[in-house]
Amino acid sequence: MSTSITRPRPWIKNAQAVGIAGAPGEVLASPPSGMRPTRRSSDVGLTEYRRKRRFAVTSEPSGDEKRRRKRSRTLAFVVQKHRATRLHYDFRLEWNGVLWSWAVPKGPSLDPSIKRLAMQTEDHPLEYARFEGIIPEGEYGGGTVMIWDTGTWTPDGADVEAAFAKGELKFQLAGAKLRGSWVLVRTRSSGPTAGRPAWLLIKHRDGFASVEDIATAQPRSVVSRRTLAEIAWHEGGNVEKAARGDPPAEIRRLLANPELVARPKRGKPAVWKSHRP
Ligand code: MN
Instruction: Name beta bridge partners: 186.
Output: 199
Distance of CA 274 to the CA centre of its chain: 19
Q: Is residue 5 part of a domain?
A: no
Q: Is residue 263 part of a domain?
A: no
> Ligand 1 centre and the CA of 157: distance in Å?
28
pLDDT tens-digit readout, 202-245: 999 999 999 999 999 999 999 999 999 999 999 999 999 999 99
* DSSP code of residue 266: T
> Ligand 1 centre and the CA of 273: distance in Å?
19
Whole-angstrom distance, CA of residue 163 vs CA of residue 217? 32
Domain count, the chain: 1
Outline where DSSP puts E strands in 136-247: 143-155, 168-175, 179-186, 198-203
> Ligand 1 centre and the CA of 268: distance in Å?
23
> Ligand 1 centre and the CA of 275: distance in Å?
23
Q: Is residue 268 part of a domain?
A: no
Of the candidates 86, 79, 112, the one whose C-alpha atom is nearest the C-alpha of residue 219 is 79
Whole-angstrom distance, CA of residue 197 vs CA of residue 118? 9
Q: Is residue 67 part of a domain?
A: no
pLDDT tens-digit readout, 50-69: 999 999 889 899 888 765 55
> Ligand 1 centre and the CA of 230: distance in Å?
18
What residues make up the domain containing 193? Answer: 38-58+72-258
> Ligand 1 centre and the CA of 104: distance in Å?
9
210 in Cβ contact with 111 (< 8 Å): yes
> Ligand 1 centre and the CA of 115: distance in Å?
19
Whole-angstrom distance, CA of residue 199 vs CA of residue 217? 25
> Ligand 1 centre and the CA of 113: distance in Å?
25
Q: What b/e sequence results for 55-69 when a residue is b if at least 16 CB atoms lie within 10 Å of its CB, and e otherwise?
A: eeebbbbbbeeeeee
> Ligand 1 centre and the CA of 105: distance in Å?
9
Q: Is residue 209 part of a domain?
A: yes
> Ligand 1 centre and the CA of 7: distance in Å?
33
Q: Is residue 228 part of a domain?
A: yes
Q: Is residue 11 part of a domain?
A: no
Of the candidates 82, 84, 101, 86, the one whose C-alpha atom is nearest the C-alpha of residue 32 is 86
8 in Cβ contact with 240 (< 8 Å): no
Q: Is residue 21 part of a domain?
A: no
Average pLDDT by consecutive 10-residue portion of the chain (277 residues)? 46 66 37 38 72 90 70 88 97 96 98 97 96 95 97 96 96 98 88 76 98 96 97 95 96 92 69 44
> Ligand 1 centre and the CA of 100: distance in Å?
13
Rg (CA), the chain: 19
